[in-house]
Amino acid sequence: LIILVGEKDAPPLVYGIMRLGETIFGIIVAYLINRFIDPRKILKKATVESYSKIRKSNGEDIALLMSIWLKTNISSHPSIDELYWHRLYDSVRKNYLDNSSQIFLYEEDGKVLGFISILEYSKIEGIYVIEKECKNVIAKQLLNYCQQTYKALSVSVYVENMDALDFYINENFYITEGIYNEELNTIQYDLQWSVKS
């Protein structure tokens, strides 16, 4: 501060003292900010407010969950035959009902707009959002909520679903391997995220 407003052609001793004063002033300001203003608390408060629209699923949500699951899978995977998703329907419904997964819903004005399903070992079964206009915003909030809850997450994404791949990579997931799925004749990428990455 002093250097910016002080004389530019001050003698070296005066110039050095001004620089020292400026440094000490900066250290004091930084100390006071770090001592009394914790940016993590500010971020945490904003995060808690945005998570107020997220709640844990209960048994009464199953019909709605399955409707969202089926619609989003069919629309997100046009290269996969629709019958494939209809064949999976009952087993997914059973998994959702027997609590073999943790399901978190995004709800706004009493309407469920999407959900995330986490299987055992912190594997994301999927993020399903019905509102196309704000799909990434809702998906990001659901994922960030789970990133606050779990220390590590993994997910599998079909190579054709570039939107999902880009989304996860932008959220600090990295590809660990690609596996060929014979039944669907496609490649499925495994991605991982952890607090440390």
pLDDT of the residue at 1? 45
- Six-digit token string for 112: 């469920």
Contacts for 84 with CB less than 8 Å, ≥ 6 apart = 184
Q: What are the extents of the domains in the chain?
A: 2-37, 47-194
pLDDT of the residue at 184? 83
Query: What CATH superfamily is the domain 47-194?
Result: Gcn5-related N-acetyltransferase (GNAT) (3.40.630.30)
Extract the residue ranges of the chain whose pLDDT is less than 50: 1-2, 46
The answer to whether the predicted template modeling score (pTM) of the entire model surpasses 0.85 is no
Rounded CA separation 108/114 (Å): 10
Rounded CA separation 127/115 (Å): 6
Rounded CA separation 51/197 (Å): 23
For 133-153, the pLDDT digits (tens) are 778 899 999 999 999 999 999
